[in-house]
Structure 1
Amino acid sequence: MDRTASFRHRLGASQTSVGHTSPDTWPPGRDIRLIPNAILWITQNDERWHRLPLTFPSPQTCYAKFLAWRRRTLLQQSLNCCV
């Protein structure tokens, strides 16, 4: 498993601990894995949030999840597994 796949797997496996799998908190039909993919896109391309492609959820949504995961150290733990 490459680094990116490992990162996505760790965040995907931990999504229940962040509370984003409930139908009340995530729109039906949307894939929660788009958020970690958007974070990866930002970091790999060294871009700003407002340049996030339309294939991802809104930049505001992605950035809010990024901040929440960073506060819970989930993001740092997932990134450490890839190094």
Structure 2
Amino acid sequence: MLGFRKNIKNVGSQYDEFLLSSIDRAKAQWDQAKETESAISEVDEEIVAQTQLSKAKYLFLYREARERNVSNNRIQSSVIDY
């Protein structure tokens, strides 16, 4: 029971690192989906839906990081372009 608080602190920082890496992956997927959508001449509903889903995932993770006050050099508010 003595080391319980120490473990909670480590779990929180591990989750924050996982969250930051998830944000990086989600941003890369969203960028890829936008590039795919713009590169294809005949865009169908599935491609548009995939792009919107990638955007929603990224924005959800970004909001979660902001609510948790996760700060790191990797997150910049300027990366959101609507």
TM-score by length of 1: 0.30
Point out the structure with max Rg over C-alpha: 2
Greater fraction of residues in helix:
2
